[in-house]
Amino acid sequence: MAGAGWAPPRLDEFILTEPLGSGTYATVYKAYRKRDTREVVAIKCVNKRSLNRASVENLLTEIEILKTIRHPNIVELKDFQWDGDHIYLIMEFCAGGDLSHFIRMRRMLPEKVARVFLQQLACALKFLHDHNISHLDLKPQNILLSAPENPQLKLADFGFAQYMSPWDEKHVLRGSPLYMAPEMVCQQHYDARADLWSVGVILYEAIFGKPPFASRSFAELEEKIRSDRAVELPSRPQLSLECRDLLGQLLERDPRKRISFECFFAHPFVDMEHIPGPESLGKATDLVVEAVRKDQEGDAKAAFSLYRKALEYFVPALHYESDARRKEAIRAKVRQYISRAEELKVLVTSSNKNLLEKGNPARELLKEMAKDKPRLCAALEVASAAITKEEEGRDDSEALELYQQSLGELLLLLAAEPAGRRRELLHAEVSASPGTPELSLVAWLQRHCVLSLPTRSRP
C-alpha cells in the first residue's frame, strides 16, 4: 500500500490512481484517460534515475517489441511518453490480476482450467515464435488475466525479451530463478527453448499449487536446479496421460532433449486447433450441418464422424461464450447432438447390420447399447420373452410375471443410469408411451389393469 505521502506521477492526459505493482525500476499504476471515454489503462512509470545501461537496453527492446506486435493473448502497448523524470508505457488494463494470484486463491487449478490457460499461453508463444521473439521471463506474475470472470490470458512484461532466431544462443542471465531454465542457471549458452522450460514450471505450479523447485533459499534452489535428477511429478491430483507426457517433455533438464516448439504446439494436450475462440462456434455449426445432411442420406458412418468432430469444437465454443442465455442454448443443442452421435456409434459399430435397415427401433437400439451391461442385457431379455409370450397368445399370467420381473429390474437400473442416450431409451422402455408402435412395459401393465399410475391434472 502507498504511504501517507505517496503521490503518483502527473500526466496531462491521464488521472493516475492506485499502484498495481512495482519492480526494480518501475511502478505500474491504474489510470483513467481524461477524455469523455474515461478509458481505463495501466501505466508503467519508469524512473529514469534508476536506470543503468542494461536496463535502458531492456526498456528500449520492450518498447520496440510491444509497439510492433498485436495479439489477443499479449498485453497491448497503447502508447509511450516521457518527461524529465519518467518514461511512461501506457498499457492495456487487465482487471483480473495475474495468474500467480489466481492460483494462490484456489491453491491449485483443475487440469481442464490449467489446459485452457496453457492453450492461450501457447497462442501467444506461437505468435512470438513466428516473429523470432523469446520472452525469457515467463512466470505466473507476468501473465495477466483480462477479467475476474471468464478471463482471457495476456502475456505481459517484455523487459527481458529478445529477438532470437531458433539457432541464436545467449549467455546473459535473464528471468526469475524459480522459473529459469537449468542451462541459464548454470550460466551455459541457451536458446529459445529456455521459454519452454518456464512453460513447464508454470503448468506444474498451476496443477500442483507450487513450482517444482520451491525452496527456502537461493542456494537450495540453485542446488535443486543444477541436479541431474529427473523432475518427479506428484501422484495427486490424478492427471491425464497427455498432461503428464507434456510436463515430462517440458521439464527436461537437457535443452537438446526438451520438446521443440513445433512438437509443443502440436502436442495433443495443447491441441491448438480446438482452442476456445470466436470461430469455434462457426466451425462446430458447419460440421453439424454436414452431419445432419449425411444422417438424412442414411450415411451413418460419415454422420457419426462429423458429429464427433463438431462436438470437439462445441466444447471450446462453450468455454468462449460469456452470455448465459446463449451458453444454455448451445448446451441444449449439444445434448441433442450427443444423443444422436451415441445412436450412430451403436449403428456403425454393431455387428447387427439389420439395425441400419430397420429405422433404428428404440428397443433394438437399447439392446445394442446395453452390451457392456450384463444385468441390463438380462432384464431386456426377460422383457423380450414377455413380449414374445404375449404375441404368441400364451398364458397371460406367465407373460405378466415376466413383465413385472423385468420392470422391477429396469426401474432399479434406470435410477442408477447416468444421463445420456442409453438412459433416454431405457426411460422410454419402462415409461407409458401411448400411441407408440412399441408398447412400453408400464403401458402394457396399465392396459392389463395390473398397474395403476396417478395421472397429472392439467394446469
> What is the C-alpha separation between 299 and 438, in angstroms, rounded?
25
For residue 269, the number of C-alpha atoms closer than 13 Å in the C-beta half-sphere is 24
**Element spanning 204, H or E:** helix 194-208
Residue of 137, 157, 195, 295 with catalytic role: 137
| Residue whose entry in the numeric block shows the C-alpha cell 499449487 | 209
Count CB atoms within 10 A of the CB of residue 409: 18
Q: Residues 100-109: contacts with CB within 8 Å, 24+ apart?
A: 100/139, 100/140, 100/141, 100/143, 102/140, 102/145, 102/151, 103/140, 103/205, 103/206, 103/209, 107/209, 108/206, 108/207, 108/208, 108/209, 108/237, 109/206, 109/207
The answer to whether 44 is a known ligand-binding residue is yes
Phi-psi region of 376 (alpha: psi -120 to 50; beta: other; left: phi over 0): alpha
* 137 catalytically annotated: yes
Name which of 363, 369, 337 is nearest 350 in CA terms: 369
What residues act catalytically? 137
Annotated binding site for ATP: 44
